[in-house]
Homo-oligomer: A and B are copies of this chain.
Amino acid sequence: MATIYEVAELAGVSLATVSRVMNGNVKVSDKSRSKVQSAMKELGYQPNIIAQSLASNRTNRVGVLVSELSGPFFSYMLAVVESALREEGKHAIITAGHSNVEKEKDAIEFLLGCRCDALILHIDAVSDEYLLKLRERKVPFSLINHHIDDIAECCFTMDNEQGGYLATKSVIDAGHTQIAYISGPEFKEDAQLRLQGHQRALAEAGIAFDDNFHYRGNYNEDGGKAGFDELSSQQFTALICANDEMATGAMYSARKHGLSLPNDLSIVGFDDQVFARYTYPTLSTVKNPIAELGSMAAKWVLKEVYEINTNEPISNVFEPTLIKRDSLQSIQGNQ
């Protein structure tokens, strides 16, 4: 592989001029630039980015940490983030933290050990204090689906409260008044906010929130099954689950209890995961704009760290939308 020395010799200029042409950040005469470019082309020159990184103290790497690599939820986000970064010549180092405090910290240290210029984090176990300390270490990072007031400009979230509101309003608008709710884990901020939105929509419709119609779930399919089993002693015609995985578990259990979907029970999920299109009936769900969040988090990094302005204003909060599918049916059955 050709080096900068060979290009300089062939072009008849110094190393510094080759470097300047290559980086385009300092004025170079048209004559010199032309000579360098010809030499580069003739030699098939490709800069050694490791040498560039060492000399410039910038690696053009962005660490991306998510809860899990496997499973569909993050893959859209990763695809969008990776694509946005690559388009600007940066590369993503992607790894997982498994929603575990120590593993998340290990993963962050791993990425910093890789000398990533910045991090994009979608994690939920480490404390706000840890993240604020990370910021004090001058580590630039953007946060997805996690809000910290002190560093709000780099936090990108969906309006989870509005999502819970939308899910609930959709069943109310379909005529349902007996509505059950399976929430996510209480320690998760998004779960809390979704529940608040649910409660707001009930209040707005003059329906009292009744804890007997509320199950505290775990965001897993088995949580949805258990939730339905426990709630089934109540009478309700609609069920909202704080994520799609629990919705599918609830669907399974509802059928076990002899219910026909959506005739006997309407179900609304949350996040619009890939499989929501494959259930039978197809699942109505609140779309989590995870791809948009990822895209914006990447754009923030490109702007703040690399000073690449993509001509798009940075938005920190994204609105959810309801995706209407077959699992939600009007209570009069005349859909």
Tell whether, in the assembled complex, residue A86 and residue B95 are in contact, meaning their CB atoms are under 8 Å apart.
yes
Tell whether, in the assembled complex, residue A70 and residue B76 are in contact, meaning their CB atoms are under 8 Å apart.
yes
Tell whether, in the assembled complex, residue A93 and residue B92 are in contact, meaning their CB atoms are under 8 Å apart.
yes
- Tell me, yes or no, whether A16 is within 8 Å of chain B by CB: no
Q: Which residues in chain A, 274-290, are within 8 Å of chain B measured between CB atoms?
A: 274-275, 277-280
Tell whether, in the assembled complex, residue A70 and residue B59 are in contact, meaning their CB atoms are under 8 Å apart.
no
Chain A interfacial residues counted at CB < 8 A = 40
- Tell me, yes or no, whether A94 is within 8 Å of chain B by CB: yes
Q: Bound complex: CA of A160 vs CA of B51, how far in Å? A: 44
Tell whether, in the assembled complex, residue A71 and residue B72 are in contact, meaning their CB atoms are under 8 Å apart.
yes
Tell whether, in the assembled complex, residue B82 and residue A94 are in contact, meaning their CB atoms are under 8 Å apart.
yes
**Which B residues are in CB contact (< 8 Å) with A206?**
none
**Which B residues are in CB contact (< 8 Å) with A72?**
71-72, 75, 274
**Which B residues are in CB contact (< 8 Å) with A277?**
275
Q: Bound complex: CA of A83 vs CA of B97, how far in Å? A: 11
**Which B residues are in CB contact (< 8 Å) with A82?**
69, 94-96
- Tell me, yes or no, whether A208 is within 8 Å of chain B by CB: no
Tell whether, in the assembled complex, residue A92 and residue B94 are in contact, meaning their CB atoms are under 8 Å apart.
yes
Q: Which residues in chain A, 104-123, are within 8 Å of chain B measured between CB atoms?
A: 110, 113-115
Tell whether, in the assembled complex, residue A248 and residue B278 are in contact, meaning their CB atoms are under 8 Å apart.
yes
Q: Chain B nearest CB: distance from A137 CB in Å?
A: 11
**Which B residues are in CB contact (< 8 Å) with A50?**
50, 53-54, 59, 115
Which residue of B49, B75, B115 contacts A49 across the interface (Cβ within 8 Å)? Answer: B115
- Tell me, yes or no, whether A91 is within 8 Å of chain B by CB: yes
Q: Bound complex: CA of A178 vs CA of B92, how far in Å? A: 50
Q: 6 tightest CB-CB pairs across the interface, nearest first?
A: A280-B280, A69-B79, A70-B79, A275-B275, A275-B278, A72-B72
